[in-house]
Every structure is written in structure tokens, then in C-alpha cells.
Amino acid sequence: MKRSSLYYLEWILRLIFGVTLIYASIDKIIHPHQFATTVENYQLVGPYLSRLIAVWLPYLELLTGLLLIVGIWLEASALTNMLLMTIFLIAVSQAYLRGLDIHCGCFSTEGESNITPLKLLYNLFLFSGSVFLFYLIRKRAK
């Protein structure tokens, strides 16, 4: 059976998002207290919810990344990926628009640069790619 170029594009996007999510989860899993502070710095939720998010979000990223790479529950993992990228885009955008002087916390709990227009563009790119990946998986599933 001959595979289409869209199949390979889907596979590449799954690999990119999978590796990105797994990489992003590692430091957050190792340093949950610092990540809770990072979440709280976005000023979207209070300290209690920040701690809850800091505990479960990295594991959701890790699981979603693994599922995308392995190819299990693709529709669910692509949907979760798209929802995560949507939340990240909204969080980073609101922080930038509100002028919050915080670092992203995307891949590390410390040492990252502050949120800039380039970081917004990067998150918009990830969001767009996640929507396209979800579309490809849904299209193939029909």
C-alpha cells in the first residue's frame, strides 16, 4: 500500500509534538514547587490551583507526548495536544498583553527569557500545527 505525503506529514507532526511535550514535562516533573510558582506568576489561578496544575500538567504533557509518538489513541491525544497548545497560547498571550514580567516556564522552571513577541509567535505556530495535526488524524479516521 502506497502512503500519501499527508501520512508522512502527520507522522512528522506527531513526532515533533510528542518529543516537545515529553521534553517540556521533564523539568516540571523534577521541580514541581518551582513550576507551581511559575504557574502562579501567570496570575490566572490562585496558589492552590497553581499547585494542582503543577502536579498534573507535566504528567498530562508526558502522557500525551508518548501517545502521539506511539500512535495509540491518536484522536484523543491529538485533541489533548490541541487543547494544551490552546491553553498555552492563551496563557502566554494574556501575560504579554498584561505586561507581566515573568518567564514562560515552557521547558524549564528557571532561566528562560521573558515572554516576548517571538514567544507569542512560537506559541501561535504550535497552536496552528496542533490544529492541523488534529485535522489530519480526523480526516484519516473517517
- Judged by DSSP in three states, 10 sits in helix
CA angle 126, 127, 130 (to 5 degrees): 85
- The 10s digit of each residue's pLDDT in 30-48 is 999 999 999 999 999 989 9
Question: What is the spatial distance between Cα 18 and Cα 70, in angstroms, rounded to a whole number?
Answer: 9
- Judged by DSSP in three states, 7 sits in helix
pLDDT of 40 reads 93
Please write down the long-range contacts of 12-17, taking CB distance under 8 Å and 24 or more positions apart. Answer: 13/129, 13/132, 13/133, 13/136, 14/68, 14/69, 14/71, 14/74, 14/78, 14/133, 15/68, 15/69, 16/129, 17/65, 17/68, 17/81, 17/126, 17/129, 17/130, 17/133
- The 10s digit of each residue's pLDDT in 47-66 is 999 999 999 999 999 999 99
- The 10s digit of each residue's pLDDT in 96-122 is 999 888 887 777 767 667 888 999 999
pLDDT of 3 reads 73
C-beta separation of 115 from 33 below 8 A = no
AA identity, residue 22: I
Residue 2 has pLDDT above 60, yes or no: yes
